[in-house]
Amino acid sequence: MKRISCETKECSFGPARLRREGETLTVYLAYRGAYGMGEKYDSLNQKGRTVVNQVREQFCFQGDKTYCPAPFFWTDTGFGLYVDTCETTVFAFGESQVEVTLPETAEVVLFAGTPAEMVREYMGLFGPAVLPPEWVFGVWASANRWSCQRDVEELLEKLERYDFPASAVVLEAWSDEATFYIWNGAKYTPVADGRPLSCGDFDFTGSPWPDPRGMIERLHQAGLRLLLWQVPVYKKQGDGEAPNPQNDLDRADAARRKLCVMLPDGSPYTIPEGKWFAGSMVPDFTNPDTVASWVAKRRYLLDMGVDGFKTDGGEFIHGPEARFYDGTTGREGANRYCRDYTRRYRDFAGPERVLFSRAGFSGQHTVPCHWAGDQQSQNSELANVLRAGLSAAASGILFWGFDLGGFAGPLPSLDLYRRATQMACFCPIMQWHSEPDGGQFRDLMPGDTGNNERSPWNMAERYGAPEFLEEMRYWHKLRERLRPYLWRTARECVRDSKPMLRPLAYQWPGDPAAVSCEDAYLLGDELLVAPLLEENRTSRAVYLPEGTWYDFFTGEAYQGGRTVTAGGGRLPVFSRSRWGESHG
């Protein structure tokens, strides 16, 4: 690893030669593939593409936009580069050179070696990865439509009735959606002096959540953990929303004490019109007083037994005019804000709990875990999230998942849901999630007109296919069988700074067929997974690298270094040893 300053005009490093002229750094090198750049939905190999490293919120069909960029790449020929800046950078990957547009003050870190060595050294710039609890590797159940305690009780009933395992429940519609820390319908006396509310301040009589502490205890008794949705805003409420006096007091306190991101004239920065949560103020997590105030108001949730947070949003800095407590501006904040936000929640939650984050920037591995954001229930989106997961892994993100089958728009077909479930079974995090009934944005992108929950039992019921439930139960129970392997692999990944998902180019950079493969991956050291991405696809060609491989389901042996046809109606998975013999 070598660090060069912005004044360096020319240098040679390993297989590359670098030359800087003004804001452009040109890297001359031979390579077949360039990997990393954060979570990229358009391609795993970035050669031939131009990448803008800027955090962007995009509802479905992300294309070349991403919630989670990183100005870091590595090549199959042993060269890697990271630009040490939070400002926006642009990478143009040409045939034999990479042109990087840099801010004036950026330093550049160079790497040479195997992909594993370069990713490990890059991760080391930010600190160790965080190991999530073991329960993370079970099945997660999530739906925005669950808006009362009875919905959670029905979920527990159906998990037992249909004999489906699960380890985590994610609630989005739990709070008043103004403060994002008060249970919907709870009675309390608003506080104006910044003092946090505690469990004893609430009366849940008549609330849709009459006994949240008891509900959490029952979830724990059933072996499930609870995550609550969070968004980092002091919300501007809309015309159709009932006034929330606590939110009004919080906004006034944030403006008075400058706990929020500010403008040069001393007024609060607000999210621009046309953006998610327009008009809302944004907490400034570079200010220690903001952090203390923000987490204190949520500490009672941990006292209730909450096991983590779905830390959504964070893509809220939309212009250079924003001013932060630490002296930085929106030029850095557009990318850095989501990292500051999730790290403050990480420190607040502690190691026994977990975050599930959408947005991030370089060094994302220091915050567990991530999901791929919002996708429609379409086949093309399944291919998009596969590329996103593999490029995220190539950028050092260890623990990642997606909303299987998509969460937005009409329900997925049974076949898409089937293939997405199979792929999710062999990902670090397996989760099904649903938008509200009728759609997240009903006018722009309507969803199913009835119950559009993406649970296996609702899918079977809505399509009149009771046999589908038994088929899905197989994959959920297989996930339980995989948990010991996943947990052991997770510990090894943290210890060795290795992603849990691995593109074939990461493991075999000298193999041209592996370098050209963008639709298969390793899960840990042992399993090779080749998702089925097309409607009604039951088999596909799979490239097996060198060595002996065994069909995960049948035990049939194959010699590597060649392409085989595999599937037979289910996800092609191969193992380095016969699974039954090595794992029981």
Calpha distance 366→162 (Å, rounded): 37
Report yes or no on 106 lying in a domain: yes
| Contact between 333 and 314 (Cβ < 8 Å) | no
Strands 521-523 and 527-529 turn out to be: antiparallel
Q: Tell me, what's the pLDDT at 85? A: 96
Any bridge partners for residue 202, and if so which? none
Structure tokens of 571? 């996800």
Calpha distance 66→54 (Å, rounded): 8
Q: Tell me, what's the pLDDT at 584? A: 46
Report yes or no on 376 lying in a domain: no
Give how far Cα 12 sits from Cα of 71, 408, 462, Å.
20, 48, 61
User: For the domain that residue 77 is a member of, what is the CATH number?
Assistant: 2.60.40.1760
Give how far Cα 278 sits from Cα of 95, 155, 318, 445, 472, Å.
42, 34, 11, 19, 40
CB-based contacts of 27, cutoff 8 Å, min separation 6: 16, 17, 18, 79, 81, 97, 98, 99, 100
User: For the domain that residue 549 is a member of, what is the CATH number?
Assistant: 2.60.40.1180
Instruction: Work out the number of other CB atoms within 10 angstroms of the CB of residue 262.
Output: 21
3-state secondary structure (DSSP) of residue 206: coil
**Residue of 404, 417, 552 lying closest to 471 (CA atoms):** 417
Structure tokens of 428? 């670090």
Report yes or no on 332 lying in a domain: no
Q: What is the dihedral of CA 518, 400, 431, 570, to 10 degrees?
A: 30
Residue at which a domain ends, from 96, 124, 152: 124
Q: Tell me, what's the pLDDT at 391? A: 98
Looking at the structure of the chain, the number of domains it has is 2
**Element (H or E) spanning 492, and its range?**
helix 466-496
Calpha distance 446→444 (Å, rounded): 6
C-alpha angle 502/519/551, rounded to 5°?
Answer: 75
Q: Tell me, what's the pLDDT at 568? A: 87
Q: Tell me, what's the pLDDT at 440? A: 63
Report yes or no on 209 lying in a domain: no
Calpha distance 578→584 (Å, rounded): 10
Calpha distance 510→423 (Å, rounded): 27
| Contact between 94 and 82 (Cβ < 8 Å) | no
Calpha distance 282→280 (Å, rounded): 7
Would you name the residues annotated as active-site residues?
312, 315, 374
Tell the residue number behind the tokens 């809309």, with chain if given: 238
CB-based contacts of 508, cutoff 8 Å, min separation 6: 514, 515, 545, 546
Report yes or no on 23 lying in a domain: yes
Q: Tell me, what's the pLDDT at 6? A: 64
Residue at which a domain ends, from 64, 91, 124: 124
| φ and ψ at residue 240, rounded to 5 degrees | -85, 0
Q: Tell me, what's the pLDDT at 572? A: 97
Q: What is the dihedral of CA 509, 511, 516, 519, to 10 degrees?
A: -80
Residue at which a domain ends, from 124, 153, 173: 124
Report yes or no on 6 lying in a domain: yes
Q: Tell me, what's the pLDDT at 442? A: 55
Report yes or no on 317 lying in a domain: no
pLDDT in single tens digits along all 584 residues of the chain: 888 876 778 889 989 999 998 899 999 999 999 999 999 999 999 999 999 999 999 888 889 999 999 999 999 999 999 999 999 999 999 999 999 999 988 899 999 999 999 999 999 999 999 999 999 999 999 999 999 999 999 999 999 999 999 999 999 999 998 999 999 999 999 998 778 889 999 999 999 999 999 999 999 999 999 999 999 999 999 878 888 999 999 999 999 999 999 999 999 999 999 999 999 999 999 999 999 999 999 999 999 999 999 999 999 999 999 999 999 999 999 999 999 999 999 999 999 999 999 999 999 999 999 999 999 999 999 999 999 999 999 999 999 999 999 998 899 999 999 999 999 999 999 999 988 877 665 555 566 667 889 999 999 999 999 999 999 999 999 999 999 999 999 999 999 999 999 999 999 999 999 999 999 999 999 999 999 999 999 999 999 999 999 999 999 999 999 999 999 889 999 999 988 655 54
Report yes or no on 153 lying in a domain: no
pLDDT tens for 230-250 read 999 999 998 788 889 999 999
Which domain covers residue 15, as residue numbers? 2-124
HSE value, Cβ hemisphere, 13 Å, CA-based, for 224: 25
